[in-house]
């Protein structure tokens, strides 16, 4: 590993310092908004953001990934709190964290990459729909209902003004729409000189200034004057809850979903930069420790989150210190300026989540799946999304994974993949024999990532008998990243889908 020149170190720290401020500005409204969407007080999300920065940032296996409360878990947490109470969240989180730590120690982190992209994006789309229809009601200063379908059915009535406090609902809706318009307008027309200022911050500031200056009677964020009071340590009978099968089931589901979202987010972050690649098992252990601490503090669960992570990379972060510092800024802000947070309208945070949820419904991805890989991957996306909305998150994911097994049927007699690797005069040759399916994706990914950066590569796929969309997407991303980094990559023997990857 090459050492960093002394002259580059101060420059690198400055980039981390400025990037951390950008991530902090993105994280603050999201931490509180996701907590509200999860049915818990906003300070619970802030505590998770602090732990995600100060602790997980130091331990992470993905140095540029940012951890904190995730919109993808809001639906699960909302259901858990509604059915089992806020006191059950701590034991569930601690057990989920232990499962993640053990999984990292046993080196199973790489297997989460084998989950079909159709399942992951279908899950995120379903979560996005649930967030939009739930936070829609927050725009009217009302609470979300007990299920996605109930929220959806109540939307027309809410819009027609069927509210217990019509005047308050109209004012709250106006502030929510102002937030949405500010976010969209800022993202579309923002000046290049201030392009790193996030739209969510602009929207929340605009709504808060209007509500404060006009003295509007709307519901505002409620946070304690002392962040320490937001920490709820374990009480008597805390661990006895582990004898409850529903708690164990919830912990396993939470650990699985959180790990999948984290590691897939880490893979996406790796595609954004040319620095250190993710150590998936180390990242899984770090996330487990973070969720353990969140459980003991009575906070929200955490994952690696793509919105804050992409903001971190785009802001020029060089090392993990950007993520660590963003946690310090959250801690300093809530410790010194809690009165400022209490001026934020709840409808404004609901609007931030409406926009965030809408962005999760990526219809371009399902069109890409259909046009490049056929009906089955697109159907997996659609079924996963539909079941997440109509049933629950775990059912949608498990059914999606089960449907993914159908992709193996044509290749049942030749599921093995042999990867031959050789080197001659600094040039690497990788020859693939057999079938590249999601079952063999971790093996294929490890071999590809082992090739040193900058080295010329010849990828021979002439003996590759079949490739599913999971491996095809992996190969496409790897080829694009290598070529973007200036490496020479020659694709030999490609036909059909594989030939399209060469372009």
> Among 381, 399, 473, which residue's Cα sits nearest to residue 119?
381
The mean pLDDT of the chain is 84
The topology (CATH level 3) of 415-501 is Transcription Regulator spoIIAA (3.30.750)
Query: What per-residue confidence (pLDDT) applies to 1?
Result: 38
Give kind and range of the element (H or E) at residue 490.
strand 489-492
Convert the pLDDT of each residue in 82-119 to its tens digit.
Answer: 888 888 889 999 999 999 999 999 988 877 777 888 88
What is the token pair recorded at 161?
């003004």
| Contact partners, residue 503, CB within 8 Å, separation at least 6 | none
Q: Outline where 298-345 has alpha helix (H).
A: 306-314, 321-336, 338-341
**3-state SS of the chain: helix, strand, coil percent to 5?**
70, 10, 25
pLDDT tier at 497 (50, 70, 90 boundaries)? low
Under 8 Å between Cβ of 247 and 100: no
Taking alpha carbons only, the member of 169, 286, 281, 269 closest to residue 217 is 169
Segment 26-44 shows an average pLDDT of 88
Residues of the chain with pLDDT > 70: what percent? Answer: 93
Q: Tens of pLDDT along 357-374?
A: 888 888 888 898 888 888
Q: What is the dihedral of CA 10, 12, 15, 16, to 10 degrees?
A: -100
Cα–Cα dist 114/117, whole Å: 9
Domain residue extents for the chain? 8-351, 415-501
pLDDT at 130 over 60: yes
SS3 244: coil
Q: Higher confidence at residue 353 or residue 161?
A: 353
Cβ proximity of 71 and 357 under 8 Å: yes
Handedness of CA 47, 48, 50, 54 (dihedral sign): positive
More confident residue, 460 or 51: 51
In 3D space, the residue among 74, 100, 35 whose CA is nearest the CA of residue 349 turns out to be 35
Q: Is residue 123 within 8 Å of 253, Cβ to Cβ?
A: no
- Identify whether the C-beta of residue 430 lies closer than 8 Å to the C-beta of residue 402: no
At residue 134, does pLDDT exceed 80? yes
Nearest to 107 by CA among 285, 232, 256: 285
Lowest mean pLDDT segment, chosen from 47-56, 360-369, 449-458: 449-458
Does the structure show a pLDDT above 50 at 145?
yes
Mean pLDDT over 229-253 rounds to 82
Q: What's the residue count for the chain?
A: 503
End-to-end CA distance of the chain, in Å?
A: 32
Work out the pLDDT band at 300, boundaries 50, 70, 90: very high
CA pseudo-torsion sign 327, 268, 379, 433: negative
- The tens digit of pLDDT for each residue in 420-443 reads 888 877 788 888 888 888 888 888
How much is the CA Rg of the chain, to the nearest whole Å? 23
- 27-36, 130-139, 286-295 — most confident range: 286-295
Beta bridge partners of 208: none
């Amino acid at each position: 590993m090459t050492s960093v020149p002394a002259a580059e170190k101060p420059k690198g720290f400055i980039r981390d310092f400025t990037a951390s401020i950008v991530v902090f500005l993105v994280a603050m409204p999201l931490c509180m908004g996701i907590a509200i969407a999860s049915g818990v007080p906003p300070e619970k999300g802030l505590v998770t953001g602090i732990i995600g920065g100060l602790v997980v940032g130091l331990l992470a296996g993905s140095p540029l990934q940012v951890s904190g409360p995730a919109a993808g878990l809001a639906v699960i947490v909302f259901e858990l709190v509604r059915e089992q109470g806020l006191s059950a969240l701590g034991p569930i989180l601690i057990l989920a964290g232990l499962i993640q730590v053990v999984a990292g120690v046993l080196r199973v982190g790489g297997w989460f990459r084998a989950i079909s992209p159709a399942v992951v994006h279908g899950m995120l789309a379903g979560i996005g729909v649930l967030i939009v229809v739930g936070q829609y009601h927050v725009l009217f200063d009302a609470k979300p209902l007990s299920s996605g379908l109930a929220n959806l059915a109540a939307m027309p009535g809410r819009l027609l003004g069927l509210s217990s406090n019509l005047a308050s609902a109209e004012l709250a809706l106006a502030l929510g729409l102002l937030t949405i318009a500010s976010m969209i307008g800022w993202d579309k027309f923002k000046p290049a000189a201030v392009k790193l200022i996030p739209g969510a911050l602009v929207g929340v500031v605009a709504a808060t200034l209007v509500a404060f200056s006009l003295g509007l009677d709307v519901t505002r964020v409620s946070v304690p004057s002392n962040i320490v009071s937001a920490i709820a340590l374990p009480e008597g009978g805390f661990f006895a809850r582990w004898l409850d099968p529903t708690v164990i089931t919830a912990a396993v589901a939470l650990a699985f979903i959180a790990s999948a979202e984290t590691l897939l987010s880490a893979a996406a972050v790796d595609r954004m930069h040319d620095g250190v690649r993710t150590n998936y098992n180390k990242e899984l252990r770090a996330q487990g420790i973070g969720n353990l601490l969140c459980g003991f503090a009575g906070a929200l669960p955490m994952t690696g989150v793509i919105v804050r992570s992409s903001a971190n990379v785009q802001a020029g972060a060089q090392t993990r210190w950007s993520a660590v510092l963003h946690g310090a800024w959250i801690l300093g802000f809530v410790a010194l300026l809690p009165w400022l947070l209490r001026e934020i309208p709840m409808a404004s945070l609901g609007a931030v989540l409406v926009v965030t949820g809408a962005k999760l419904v990526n219809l371009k991805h399902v069109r890409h799946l259909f046009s490049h890989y056929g009906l089955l991957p697109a159907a997996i996306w659609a079924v996963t999304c539909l079941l997440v909305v109509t049933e629950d998150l775990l059912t949608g994911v498990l059914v999606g994974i089960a449907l993914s097994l159908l992709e193996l049927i044509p290749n049942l007699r030749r599921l093995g993949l042999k990867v031959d690797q050789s080197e001659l005069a600094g040039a690497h040759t990788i020859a693939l024999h057999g079938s590249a399916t999601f079952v063999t994706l971790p093996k294929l990914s490890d071999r590809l990532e082992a090739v040193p950066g900058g080295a010329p590569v010849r990828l021979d796929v002439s003996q590759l008998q079949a490739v599913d969309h999971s491996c095809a997407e992996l190969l496409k991303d790897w080829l694009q990243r290598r070529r973007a980094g200036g490496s020479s990559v020659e694709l030999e023997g490609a036909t059909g889908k594989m030939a399209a990857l060469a372009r």
